[in-house]
Structures are given as structure tokens and as C-alpha cells.
Amino acid sequence: MNEDAPLTPEEYRLISQYQQGLPLEPHPFARMAEQLRTSEDWVIETLHRLQEEGVVSRIGPVVRPNSIGVSTLVAMRVPPERLEEVAELVNRHPEVNHNYEREHEYNLWFVVTAPDEAHLQRTLAAIREETGLPMLDLPMLEDYFIDLGFPLSWK
């Protein structure tokens, strides 16, 4: 994002108001536009642009793990010179929500979700085969809710 061009009051309100409470209905962006007194096109175009600029990383609901389908956390020990390559291979799978590097022996971590356990295992097997690396499958034993919303401080 260009730091010389701060968010407009409308952009600020959009991303601040909808960190939580995204309307759960067939046309959520239309409802957001109605509540913000703007157009659905403006909401969609603005969110898309803010994603491209890196202001917004993801748009969508957060669903309690394993309430719809199944998921697991995976850790891999990736040689540093292969980290970008392996992260790219992992990201090609639509079942992968996100991945991130950690300063640890197991340096690449990612979450995989799937409609059922068989699909999840096929995805893990494909990643294992494509990368040639072993992985730790760390299924959730107990869930904890972490509120990912935070106050915004742009001026």
C-alpha cells in the first residue's frame, strides 16, 4: 500500500466494520453496501483493490475447525534453499488455507481443510509426494477461539 495515500474514511469504515460480522447470506456484499450506504460494486472493487495492495489479506468467514469437513495443522522440515519452492507447491492445493515460515527445525507450517478424512489424507499424500519431504500431521485435540479482529489506527 502506498503510505502517502492513507485509507479514505469509507475504506476505513469498510474494513473496520467487517473484520467481524460479515453478513451470512446469498449476497453479503450487497448487504454490506446497503449498511455502508454505497454500491455493491464499490464494496467488491474496493476489497479487491485493498487485497492487491496488501491492506487486506483474506475475505471470508472463519468457521470453527472440523464443524464443516475436517482440518489439520501440518509442519514440515524444509531445507532453507527449498523453502520458497516447497511453499509454492503447498499453496497450489486449494485445500491449503495458508502457510507460514517459522524459525524452527520445522520451518514450514500450514493448515489443510477438506470435506472428509479421505480427501484430507489424499491431499497430504500428494503434498508429501510432490515435495519428497516428510511432514508432521498435527490434528487439533482441543479448540480455542482466538478473536482475529483488532482496532484499526489509520488516520
Residue 41: phi, psi to the nearest 5?
-60, -45
Render the burial of 99-118: b for 16+ CB within 10 Å, e for the rest. beeeeeeebbbbbbbbeeee
CA distance 24 to 28: 6
Residue 98 known to be catalytic? yes
- Catalytic residue, candidates 27, 48, 93, 98: 98
User: Do 9 and 152 touch, CB atoms closer than 8 A?
Assistant: no
Enumerate the active-site residues. 98
